[in-house]
Amino acid sequence: MKNTNKCMLGDCFVFTPTEKRIFAKRLLVLCGTMLLAWYISAYWVQLAIVEGDSMLPAYHNMQFVLIDKHTKDYKSGDVIAFRCGNLSSNLIKRIVGIPGDTMIIENGRLYVNGRLIDEDTYYEYTGIMENKIKLSNGEYIVLGDNVSESKDSRYREIGIIDICDIVGEVI
């Protein structure tokens, strides 16, 4: 008895011309959507997740945030994401020092351009900021909001952030 249910290669999937056009359109839409998503993520806005408690109370562990990659005008108080090669990761911290600022932590207090910043915050660890730091063009100092839990510019492995390492502003 002859088996007529055998499928020869190429005989199983026979598409009509209309089905081929529909498939091609769907594939084109899928590829276009993926390309647009990549472009937006690479150059405009990226979704990121906060890891750790260094930015409490503003941002908490496992919170999703958006990073605006288009903004390049950073000011004191902005929260940014930046690449840290020494730690092989991206970090999220608040800018406290911008180009031209002179910074120091004395007696546990942060001074920017000789002015006391936030008298309620006490910095137990001063690290590299125990000495005055004068920021040049394109250099930033960042600190975590939760200073007792934050690894930030006070630590030598993070230090001064170069503008080239900034991914974008957290929005």
Encode 94-132: b = buried (16+ Cβ within 10 Å), e = exposed. Answer: bbbbbeebebebeeebbbbeeeebeeeeebeebbebeee
User: What are the pLDDT digits (tens) for 124-135?
Assistant: 999 999 999 999
What is the rounded average pLDDT of the residues 162-170? 97
Contact criterion met (CB below 8 Å) for 140 and 98 = yes
Q: What is the pTM of this model?
A: 0.81
Q: Residue 59: what pLDDT?
A: 97
Contact predicate 93/48, CB 8 Å: no
Helix H, strand E, coil C: the string for 14-32 is CCCHHHHHHHHHHHHHHHH
pLDDT of 9 higher than 60: no
State residue 5's pLDDT score: 57
Angle at 139 between CA 126 and CA 53, to 5 degrees: 50
Rounded to whole angstroms, the Cα distance separating 16 from 29 reads 20
The pLDDT confidence band at residue 166, using thresholds 50, 70 and 90, is very high
Neighbours of 45 (CB within 10 A): 14
Q: How far is CA 99 from CA 9, 125, 144, 156, in A?
A: 67, 23, 19, 19
**The one-letter amino acid at 105:** I
pLDDT at 12: 66
Distance CA 15, CA 3 (A): 23
